[in-house]
Amino acid sequence: EFITGNFFKKIPKNIDIYIMKSVLHDWEDEKALDILRTVYSAMRSESILLVVEIVIDEKNIRQFGKLLDVAMLVLSGGKERTELEYSALFNEAGLKISQIIPTASPFSIIEVKRKV
């Protein structure tokens, strides 16, 4: 069952899996934290949040996400983030990364759970 909500205000509670694709990169850190705190408040201890985003490599290599990072900054004030930046963002919202699953595309699936 798919259920919609407003991630700045309130989303359905007690869902097994929450999925966000290309959401957090639209927002600067404070707004992204607002979104994550809304999700956190709705999650059960066993709930999973799947965040589908580009995870920027910290190495100085050519990467599509780095070009998109500049576009996001100009267009929306958002940004692409590294694994460390995502980890810090989730941590501040009471969440933790349990794994990052690369895909054949530029996107990765970041599996996130509530901190115990």
Each residue of 14-40: b (16+ CB within 10 Å) or e?
ebeebebeebbbebeeebbbebbbbbb
Q: Are 72 and 26 in contact (CB under 8 A)?
A: yes
73: annotated active-site residue: no
Of the candidates 11, 15, 24, 25, the residue annotated as catalytic is 25
Supply the residues annotated as catalytic.
25
